[in-house]
Amino acid sequence: MDTLKVIVSGGKDHYGAWAKDVEGIYGVGDTLDEVKDDVKKAIALYLEYNENAPDVLKNNPEIELIFDVTGLVKYYSQFITLPAMESLTGVNQKQLWQYANGYKSPRKETADKIEKGLKRFARRLEYEEIAV
């Protein structure tokens, strides 16, 4: 099965998404499931109106969601408060809020800082042992 990579970005009211390697495939939704469904609808429309569609679209591709930093912060802010995310990443919570809501995009250095901080936290969780 082919895989279509879709970049997910955060916004004030919803997520926006676009196919990484196929121009003209876009999606939107309040949840990631809604984004995937919308991308599938976009693929169907693309196939209906484009005779020379890329092969990846013709075989009911698996949709692989890849976050940009705004999408990552928006998604994980459902589970981790912005003050906690600030503590994990070293990035001010007001900046994080602006990224999560699509008002600003971080510089590369800041994006790397956010990614590294959240991955460091995930590794800590992975190795924690809970006494039962």
Domain ranges of the chain: 3-67, 69-127
Domain 3-67, second-level architecture: 2-Layer Sandwich (3.30)
pLDDT of residue 42: 97
- Considering only CA atoms, which of 126, 113, 119, 81 is closest in space to residue 100? 81
The answer to whether 81 touches 92, Cβ cutoff 8 Å, is no
* pLDDT, tens digit (0-9, with 9 covering 90-100), for 55-90: 999 989 999 999 999 999 999 999 999 999 999 999
Task: Spell 79-106 as b/e; 16+ CB within 10 A means b.
Answer: ebebeebbebbebebebbbbbbbbeeeb
How confident is the model over 5-58, as pLDDT tens digits?
999 999 999 999 999 999 999 999 999 999 999 999 999 999 999 989 999 999
pLDDT greater than 90 at residue 127:
no
Dist CA 88 CA 121 (whole Å)? 7
Angstrom distance (rounded) from CA 74 to CA 47: 31
pLDDT of residue 1: 79
pTM to 2 decimal places: 0.86
